[in-house]
Amino acid sequence: MSAAFEMTVPVLPDDIDEQDHVNNTVYLRWVQDVAVAHWRAIASPDVQEAIGWVVLRHEIDYKTPATLCDKIALRTWIGKATRLTFERFTEIRRKNDGQLLSKARTLWCPINARTGRPMRVSEEVRAQFST
């Protein structure tokens, strides 16, 4: 399992749905946003230019709703990383009290950024995301 990466985002008015809480599609966007931020924070520019990512599967459990003006803590880390898939976990919590709002498991596939075809990731890149 890798070291966790964290970032904070606000709940914005456009994130709110008819039930007066954050829409489920926003949680999915946050899962993707924190994954991309983690990748960009760790991978070198050359590696970022060579490797792209596509999602093979998302699993999201919703626990408690977020509401307007909440600050949200996004925390992500890599689980099992093979040559062709990276398992990524994400926790979404309300910042002020640490309440778990949602958790997700996503399976990502690395692709060649030029061809769009699946590619094997080097041991070096896998090691960058591991503890």
Q: Could you read off the pLDDT of 89-130 as tens digits, one per residue?
A: 999 999 999 999 999 999 999 999 999 999 998 888 888 876
**Count of the separate structural domains present in the chain:** 1
Confidence of residue 1 (pLDDT cuts 50, 70, 90): low
Report the CATH number that the domain containing residue 63 is assigned in CATH. Answer: 3.10.129.10
pLDDT at 101: 98
Express each pLDDT in 21-74 by its tens digit: 999 999 999 999 999 999 999 999 999 999 999 999 999 999 999 999 999 999
Category of 126 on φ-ψ map: left (φ > 0), alpha (ψ -120 to 50) or beta: alpha
Q: What is the pTM of this model?
A: 0.93
The dihedral sign for the CA sequence 102, 106, 111, 116? negative
The 8 Å CB, 24+ separation contacts for 115-122 are 116/52, 118/84, 119/51, 119/84, 120/83, 120/84, 121/51, 121/81, 121/83, 121/84, 121/86
Q: What is the span of the domain harbouring residue 12?
A: 5-128
Contact 72, 11 (CB under 8 A): yes
